[in-house]
Amino acid sequence: MIVSFLILIWWSARLLNKADAKRAGVERELRESEHNLNLSQGVTRIGSWGIDFEKNQGWWSNEAYRLFGYEPHEVPMTQELFIGHVHPSDKDMMLRWMGDCAANIRPPAVDMRIIRRDGAERIFRGEGSAYFEGERLLRMVGTVQDVTERKQAEEQLHLQSAALEAAADAIAVTDKDGLYVWVNKAFETLTGYARAEAIGKNPRILKSGKQDASFYKELWETILSGNVWWGKIINRRKDGVLYVEEQSITPVRRSDGEVTHFVSVKRDISERVQLQDQLIQSEEKWRSVATFAPDMILVADTNATIQFINHTIPTMTVEQVVGRSIYEFVPEKDSPLVRTYVEGALSTGAVSSYEILGIDQLWYFVRVGPIRQGGEIAGVSMIITDITGMKRAEEAVRRSESTLRSFFDSAGMLMGTVEIHGDDIFHISNNRYSEEFFGVSRGSMDQRYAGSLGVPREFIDLWMRHYRRAEETREPVRFEYEHCWERSNKWLSATVSSIPAQPDAVSRYAFIVEDVTAKKSREEAIRLYAEKLERSNQELDQFAYVASHDLQEPVRTISGYAQLLAKRYAGKLDNDADEFIRFIVEGSDRMKRLLQDVLRLSRVTTKAVPSAAVNMNEVLRAVADDLRFSIEEAGATLTNDPLPEVVGDAEQLRQALQNLIGNAIKFHDTKVPVIHVSARQEGDATVFSVQDNGIGIDPKFFDRIFLVFQRLHTREEIPGSGIGLALCKKIVERHGGRIWVESEEGHGSTFSFTLPHRSAIS
């Protein structure tokens, strides 16, 4: 395009040197050429300039004036005016460039920052050529173009290139013949081949032989047809080691549709395949390298009829769009707004911009301005940018901020952010609950120091220490303290954390504070109640011990005299007397056994549990000796697995095991009792189980059987005091364990209890 401008300028200059006889025709052609030049520059946004050193005159094209923010010929074109618009930091560079042009060095195009008349900073690209006669400089001509958006796009492409280079996944680009033309760092790491070694080579350098010819045939058919191939390949590194990679290959097409390159994105999944036994990774996603489409540029005449468009729109070609009204492609509800801007540009030359939701439900930013020819408005131009992604992001941010603000203000805790300024804490933002706590009006707590809010010095120092600790450790810091001041005393539970910031920025901190005064009061009440309950239990245990111990003497007296009566007067009195004496003897014996059981139960709770090692195999042998007569009488079979050592009171554990095995012998039907004792490890505890084939227990009685004096059978059916399982429960719990039963009526029972393993204690 620039070459065309220079040819037109040269052609115009040549015409000026023709004979006077052709002057009228030349001037007409020159005006037509200038008209066409201005029209082309208005469409392309490229201005031109020139300096005639013989006549000491200079000129700017109409578009050059507009690029600098002036109406055409609004001010005289001077070198000082041009230099005055150059950014101060770029003036020296600009002067050197012009000097090089004047010295016939033919410097390359130069990019400079320009301050427009309206103060906007833009980036212009200038090009120029000097014309000499011998060594005498005759004139200079050149062009100027606003390349701000292009430079921004180039920077974006640079960032994308850097991102691809730094990507964790290996990325390679091959030409249509399959030869590598570019690979990133991750490719070198993955394959072991340096970039220089890979460029120009075929991917067969990685071939492992694990895939057959049909695999590669299907791959090439897919990508040559323009489709994306995705799959897993077993390849071989440079050092010969095989690895599994997940790879996508995306064909890159020219504008005419021909495939020119392939982009391969690959990732080493060897470890994942090994760990998951070749499980298909349905969650793995791939992305191909995307290209950015340019903005749509549209030119219409004074009737708003489209004359030119540089980009197709969905479902329509350029030819189908040209010749139709702008308003046909605008939603009906937005037509008045768009018409106002278009007519404003056509009537007054106003430049405007607006956002619009298109008929395709995408958001666009539209810039509208006039096209001038010969000083007259000849049409309107529109530059249309797709901003759908930005609008959606803005809406997402707005919703997120709204949600967070709602949570922030509705949370029943003090929340906010602060900075440390010298020896005080400066509040940046605070929620409603914080303001209520400090007794200030809504919004009046922000941008205030803690000292001005009446916070005592000692608490400011306390908070500052925790804020600095959070910053040093980069971890949240939690603490509780009693906040005492003139308003009230409150127990507060606080969490503070450091907010990451730029190295030179002032550190900020976030705080969350919960008023736990009521919780503290409840905890104190519970503690006092627990102490009271503990004292009560101790008194009850002591009473049970004393009562059961002291009552044994009168019971022994009653039992002794009752037996003496039975011995001396049996048969000498009437039958009622003999029966009464028998009742007394049996009742006193039952009372004596009951008191002995209660005494054993009380001793469990009053006696400290020793931390000595207990060999449960020896305990079981002692129990078997104690129960030898009952075992033989019932014909029972007692077996066991090897039992581990535990820590506790050997005598109490012997009582517990003896009660459980004794019950297994006692509670049986016509079957011969079979009892098995086992143990298994569960974490730091050992689970002991006593399994029998007895009468079983209905599950609805599982909790009841461990209570004192609770029986499921009468004494006539099965003798006992109803204390045995309660005693077992007390012993197990005193050793830090728990006891439970698994049973079904008629199908035996398994009583299990846990004890800490010896290694867990040591």
H or E stretch at 449: strand 448-449
Q: Residue 642's pLDDT is what?
A: 92
Give 478's contacts (C-beta < 8 A, 6+ positions apart).
493, 494, 495
* Rounded CA separation 304/308 (Å): 11
Indicate the CATH number for domain 167-274: 3.30.450.20
Range from 292-306, 346-360, 524-538 that averages highest in pLDDT: 346-360
The pTM assigned to this predicted structure is 0.32
The pLDDT, as a whole number, for residue 310 is: 73
Q: pLDDT band for position 10 (50/70/90)? A: very low
pLDDT for residue 275 is more than 80: no
Contacts of 690 (CB under 8 A, 6+ apart): 657, 660, 661, 664, 675, 676, 677, 750, 751, 752
* CA distance linking residue 307 with residue 300, whole number of Å: 5
Handedness of CA 339, 340, 344, 345 (dihedral sign): negative
User: For residue 12, what are the CA distances in angstroms to 8, 9, 26, 35, 140?
Assistant: 6, 5, 8, 12, 14
Please answer whether residues 439 and 422 qualify as being in contact, where contact means their C-beta atoms are separated by less than 8 angstroms.
Answer: no
SS (H, E, C) 196-213: HHHCCCCHHHHECCCCCH
Average the pLDDT over 64-83 and give the result. Answer: 83
- Is residue 196 scored above 70 in pLDDT? yes
- 341 or 272, which is more confident? 341
Judge residue 276's burial from the number of C-beta atoms within 10 Å of its C-beta, 0-12 exposed, 13-18 middle, 19 or more buried.
exposed
What amino acid is encoded at 451 in this protein?
G
* DSSP per position, 371-439: EEETTEEEEEEEEEEE-HHHHHHHHHHHHHHHHHHHHHHH-SSEEEEEEEETTEEEEEEE-HHHHHHHT
Sign of the torsion formed by the C-alpha atoms of 664, 668, 674 and 678: negative
Interatomic CA distance for residues 12 and 77, integer angstroms? 20
What's the chain's Rg over C-alpha atoms? 49
Assess contact for 752 and 739: CB atoms under 8 A. yes
pLDDT score at 469? 92
Whether the predicted pLDDT of 748 surpasses 60: yes
What is residue 318's predicted lDDT score, i.e. its pLDDT? Answer: 75
User: Roughly how many angstroms between the first and final C-alpha of the chain, as a whole number?
Assistant: 89
C-alpha 627/C-alpha 621 separation (Å) is 10
pLDDT greater at residue 407 or residue 123: 123
- The CATH class given to the 38-152 domain equals alpha beta
Least confident of 266-270, 357-361, 543-547, 613-617: 543-547
The residue with greater pLDDT, 566 or 2, is 566
What is the side-by-side strand order in the sheet with 637-640?
637-640, 674-682, 685-692, 749-756, 739-743
- Which of 728, 734, 723 lies closest to 649, judged by CA? 734
Supply the pLDDT for residue 598.
60
Q: Please provide residue 356's backbone torsions phi and psi, each rounded to the nearest 5 degrees.
A: -145, 145
Residue 535 predicted with pLDDT over 70: no
DSSP notation for 31-50: HHHHHHHHHHHHHHTEEEEE
The number of CA neighbours under 13 Å toward the Cβ of 456 is 11
- For residue 751, pLDDT over 50 is answered with yes
575-606 vs 724-734: helix crossing angle, rounded to 10: 10
pLDDT band (50, 70, 90) for residue 527:
confident
Question: 305: how many CB neighbours lie within 10 A of its CB?
Answer: 13
At 592, the pLDDT band (50, 70, 90 cuts) reads low
pLDDT of residue 334: 82
Domain 607-756 class, CATH top level: alpha beta
Which tokens in the block code for residue 33? Answer: 């050429």
Helix (H) or strand (E) holding 536: helix 517-550
User: Would you say residue 616 has pLDDT above 80?
Assistant: yes
What pLDDT is stored for residue 677 in this prediction?
93
pLDDT-derived band at 292, boundaries 50, 70, 90? very low
Distance between CA 267 and CA 279 in Å, rounded?
Answer: 16
Report the chain's mean pLDDT, rounded to a whole number.
Answer: 77
Cβ atoms of residues 688 and 678 within 8 Å: yes
The stretch 556-584 carries a mean pLDDT of 72
Q: Where are the beta strands (DSSP E) in 237-359?
A: 242-253, 259-268, 296-301, 306-309, 352-357
- More confident call, 2 vs 752: 752
- How many other CB atoms sit within 10 Å of the CB of residue 633? 10
Check for a shared fold between 38-152 and 167-274.
yes
Lowest-pLDDT range of 117-126, 215-224, 431-440, 502-511: 431-440
Rounded to 5, what percent of the chain is helix, strand, coil?
Answer: 45, 30, 30
| Domain residue limits, the chain | 38-152, 167-274, 294-391, 413-420+467-606, 607-756
In this predicted structure, the answer to whether residue 609 has a pLDDT above a threshold of 70 is: no
**Alpha-carbon separation of residue 227 from 218, 230, 255, 517 (angstroms):** 11, 10, 16, 66
Q: Would you identify the CATH topology of the domain 294-391?
A: Beta-Lactamase (3.30.450)
What single DSSP character describes residue 92? H
Mean pLDDT, range 54-64, rounded to an integer: 80
Phi, psi of 528 (to 5 degrees): -65, -40
Provide CB contacts within 8 A for 431, sequence distance 6+. Answer: 408, 409, 411, 414, 415, 416
% of the chain surpassing 70 pLDDT: 77
